Each structure stands twice: as structure tokens, then as C-alpha cells.
Amino acid sequence: MILNFIILIVISVFWALGFLFVKVGERSITPITEMTARAFIAGLALLVICLLLKKDLSKSLSKFRAFIVFSILGITIPWLGIAYSEEIISSGLAAAMLSTLPIFTFIIAAFIIKTERFTIYSFAGLLIALIGLVLVIGIEKIFGHSSTLMGVLIILGAFFSYAVNGIIVPIYAKDVDPFITITYTICFGAIIIAVLAFTFEKPTMADLNVEDVWSLIGLGVISTAVAFSGYYVLLKRAGPFFTSLVGYLAPVFGVIAGVIFLHEHIDLLQIVGIFLVLLGVFLVNKPKFYN
């Protein structure tokens, strides 16, 4: 159990840094091109990891249909959603939205596949989390038709897709080594995003500086290859609920990183909103902590 918590913390920190890397890279790189570079760097790093760990990639290739689905729900949709949303909102706000991941996971589990029970704590938690989300976004932005609201909606869609993927991966890849699962998922995702990049953008025309290169390496290796390897290992070890608790920790680390490194502003109401969302997540999942 201690190892699971260590993996959870590492994933949370590395994912939080990912929002920072995306924000830095997008200053001179278009969204789909940035995610294409991220996917290819991560895919190469994961192939090296599998080679060093002597993983047999050919053994699980028969499940390629599942890997393609994982790459769409867990890579293509979320990554493009995050990239486009961070053109509108700050990296700290984007990271704060990650706190909705456990909420989405619970809603799917309770109302769609019905593996979780809906209780008074669940109702209170969902209500408090919704109030917190409104404070994080800003009431004036919600009713003022601000572009910030659109950015938030885009990234919420990205995290909903993450939640769906987190639930189906343990079901359809339960007998597959997690390193093999994430390697195929990233590699198939790289192909899909690359096709989109060459269709809608001009990746070969990207003008990269040293800061861009380092942000892409950090995004691809640290926040993707290493973080997603840990994510899939944790899904296999502890299941989707425990793994979704990254939503407790990553928002805090992400907001702190945005303030420290990008000098982003966050007001008191947003801080209160983040804590309300986290409180809501805790209440929704309260019974789990006593099992």
C-alpha cells in the first residue's frame, strides 16, 4: 500500500509539471504539433524502457483494437483538449480542473456501470465540488460569456475522457503488462495525432528555441513516459478509484508550479474553490477510506 501511495505522489507531481511544460511550449508551437512531438518523444522513451525491461511487445499485439481505443480516449482527446484549453486558461487553472477526474470516475461508476453506490455523502460531495468549480472558474466569467469558460469546458471534456479510459483499461487490458499497454497506447496515439497535425497544421514549419526543446523533452519523458507508466502500473495494482485520486494532489502541485515558475495569478476565491472541489471529491469517495 505504501508503494501505491509513492507512485500516486510521483504521478501527481509529474502530471502537474506537464501543464507547465504545455504552457511554455505553446508560446511558439501550435497545439496539435506540440502534442505530436510529445507523443513521439514519449513513445520513443517507452520503447527504450520496454527494451531495457525486456518486455515482449509482440505478445500482446493481438489486442491492438483495445490499444487504439485507449489511444483515442486516453491520449488523443485529452491531450488535444489540454493543449487547446491552455491557449485560453492558465496552467494553474488547467491543473486545478484535474480535481474533477475522481468526480467523473465516480459518476460513471455509480450511474453507468453501477459498480459504486450513490449515498448522501456522494450527493453532498458532488454539490460541494460543483460550487467549488464555479468559484475556480469565476462567477463573472460563467455569466459573462468569457472565453475562459470555453477553455474550462474543453479541459473538462478532456478529463472526462481520461475518466472513461481509466475505467475501461483495467477491464480490457487486465492480462496485459502495464508497460506494454501504455507503450502501444502512446505509439498509436502518436500516429493519430501526427495525421491530425499534418492535416490541420504545418509541423515542419515550427520554429523551436532551446526553451521549447527542453519543455518538449520534459513533457514527453517526465510528464508522459514516466508518469503514464506509473499511471498504468497503478491502475493494474490498485484499480481506477485509487488511481483517480491523482485528482487530489496534482491540482495543488499544478497551481503552485504555475505561480512559482510562470508567475500566474490566483485569487482567494479560486483557492477556496479548489479546496471545495477537493472536499467534494473526498465526500464522494468517503466510504472507500474506511474499507
Q: CA 166, CA 9: separation in Å to the nearest integer?
A: 17
Q: CA 53, CA 231: separation in Å to the nearest integer?
A: 17
Residue 144: is its pLDDT beyond 70?
A: no
Residue 160: is its pLDDT beyond 60?
A: yes
* Contact between 220 and 38 (Cβ < 8 Å): yes
Residue 247: is its pLDDT beyond 90?
A: no
Split at pLDDT 50, 70, 90, the class of 104 is confident
Q: For 76-100, how does the pLDDT look when each residue is reduced to its tens digit (9 = 90+)?
A: 999 999 999 988 888 877 887 887 8
The string of DSSP codes covering 57-111 is GGGGGGGHHHHHHHHIIIIIHHHHHHHHHTTTS-HHHHHHHGGGHHHHHHHHHHH
Split at pLDDT 50, 70, 90, the class of 146 is low
List the grid coordinates of 253.
502541485
Say what the pLDDT of residue 143 is.
59
Say what the pLDDT of residue 239 is.
78
Residue 137: is its pLDDT beyond 90?
A: no
Say what the pLDDT of residue 141 is.
63
Kindly state whether residue 1 falls inside one of the protein's structural domains: no
List the grid coordinates of 120.
448522501
Kindly state whether residue 173 falls inside one of the protein's structural domains: yes
Kindly state whether residue 277 falls inside one of the protein's structural domains: no
Kindly state whether residue 290 falls inside one of the protein's structural domains: no
Kindly state whether residue 2 falls inside one of the protein's structural domains: no
Query: How many domains is the chain built from?
Result: 1
Residues belonging to the chain:
291
Say what the pLDDT of residue 12 is.
87
List the grid coordinates of 211.
526553451
Q: For 207-246, how does the pLDDT look when each residue is reduced to its tens digit (9 = 90+)?
A: 888 888 999 999 999 999 999 888 888 887 887 767 877 8
Residue 200: is its pLDDT beyond 70?
A: yes
Kindly state whether residue 281 falls inside one of the protein's structural domains: no
| Residues sharing a CB contact under 8 Å with residue 259, sequence separation 6 or more, in sequence order | 92, 265, 266
Kindly state whether residue 70 falls inside one of the protein's structural domains: yes
Q: Supply the range of the domain harboring residue 89.
A: 10-120+146-264
Whole-angstrom CA distances from 257 to 93, 96, 165, 189 are: 11, 11, 27, 27
Kindly state whether residue 126 falls inside one of the protein's structural domains: no
